[in-house]
A and B are shown apart, each in its own frame.
Chain A
Amino acid sequence: MSEKQEMIRLQNLKKSFGDLEVLKDINLTVRKGEVFVLIGASGSGKSTLIRCINFLEMKNGGNIIIEGKSIDPKKDDLTQVRQKVGMVFQHFNLFPHKTVLENVIEAPLVVKKVSKEAAKQEALHLLDKVGLAEKADVYPSSLSGGQKQRVAIARSLAMKPDIMLFDEPTSALDPELVGEVLETIKQLAKEGMTMMIVTHEMGFAKEVADWVAFMNQGRIVEMAPPQEIFNNPKEERTREFLNRVL
């Protein structure tokens, strides 16, 4: 059996904010169709890691290899890279001055220069997929948090990314709205989307992850399939963390 394509590979990735070393030699690989879940205490560097992959933060060392190509932020066109790597944020970051539909068609229109008709059709299809077709013409302010996050997912999908990054997509939601967003992400996993997800939802992680990495103080302490890391963690610190959150 041939190995599946490497979508993300990080080699000795380093990131500091001033004197603070936030990522210390991160190494990992995510292959096509895999769901890679990052867990760890607040402040351990999960957001920074995921933001480096999308070049919202610039690495200080190491390599970021996307679909086999090592990306140099100084030379490479980052807008090209980001078109392949979608991102969903904790606080949704929808465009408040645009309707739901306009949010979804914005990037295809502006970046890919898709015709308005085609962009609309695709957007309605995606909104239907996340269960929000009937909200196409309202403004984000009238949506619930869960609905906003599903629109954000549709907006990201509209660029037809190869990889999706999620940074705590349900942490800003009321508990009763978490489920609908997780369902949407599970659906993407079933369709074979390559994803990297930061989450505190351990049940969800167990269910969808191919790999779970536990981060602590800027390092990946342990990386394993979910049944291993949750049932049989090898590292003391992983055990401590899981005891606290489970």
Chain B
Amino acid sequence: MPGIAHLIQEFIRTLPFFMKPLLLTFELTIASVIVGTVIGLLVALLKVSRIPGGQLLANIYITLIRGTPLIVQIFVLYFGFYKVIDLGQFWSATLALAIHSGAYIAEIFRGAIQSIDKGQMEAGLSLGMSSAQTMRRIIMPQALKRSIPPLGNQFILSLKESSLAAFIAMDELFSLARRLSAETFDEMTYFLIVAFYYLLIVMVFTYFVNRMEQHMAKGDS
């Protein structure tokens, strides 16, 4: 184990190097969660809709994503987007992560939509609203609110999963840690330092998610 003094010293010395990868990790995470949320919402709506083939399509996607390792997905999707469609490194990585998290986010939305009492849809219909109107104005606002805490969780997962982008040559946090350890043979130090960065972001983010949950609980029955 590296000594604590050495760790702190190295932490301070490498601080400037870590700023850009930190930013990239953030960008990757936020972009992939936003795109993943859009994918997830569409897939969830497909799943609860009665569009022919929609459910099947949604189920195939979710099964594929849940049934294969993320690192494999990232390689397949990344090289697909990067080499075949030529989206550039950042967007290829972002889309790969987004397509992965989209499957889990779809399940979050689907669960939230289905958790809304079916009396809500019936009330909307009985008033002469169409099912689409009721979905949009009555069900979705309640379902989205219920989705926020699990989405917060998914954000944390996505943040940690973005470290796998190091393996497709993205210069994010984990990639820098790997390079520093390779250069110095002082692996433990840099992996501990990078772990600290992840932990810090997760804790800050968790704090905000919890605050938001408490805030929302107040307005509820």
Contact = CB atoms under 8 A, between A and B. Distances in A.
Interface string A149-177: 00010011001000000000000000000
A83 B133 CA distance: 14
B203 to A, nearest CB: 31
B141 A111 contact: no
A111 B122 contact: no
Given A89-B119, A91-B119, A97 B145 contact: yes
Interface in A76-116: 78-80, 82-83, 85-87, 89, 91, 93-97, 106-107, 110-111
A91 B145 CA distance: 22
Contact of A79 (B117, B122, B128, B221): B128
B159 to A, nearest CB: 30
A89 B122 contact: yes
Interface in B125-147: 125-130, 133, 137-138, 141-142, 145
Q: How large is the interface on A (under 10, 10 to 19, 20 to 34, 35 or more residues)?
A: 20 to 34
B130 A79 contact: yes
Q: Is the interface of B mostly helix, strand, loop or mixed?
A: helix
A233 B126 CA distance: 34
A94 B141 CA distance: 14
Nearest to B136: A110
Contacts of B120: 93, 95
Contacts of B219: 139
A41 interface: no
A79 B119 CA distance: 17
Contacts of A91: 117, 119
Given A56-B122, A111-B133, A96 B128 contact: no
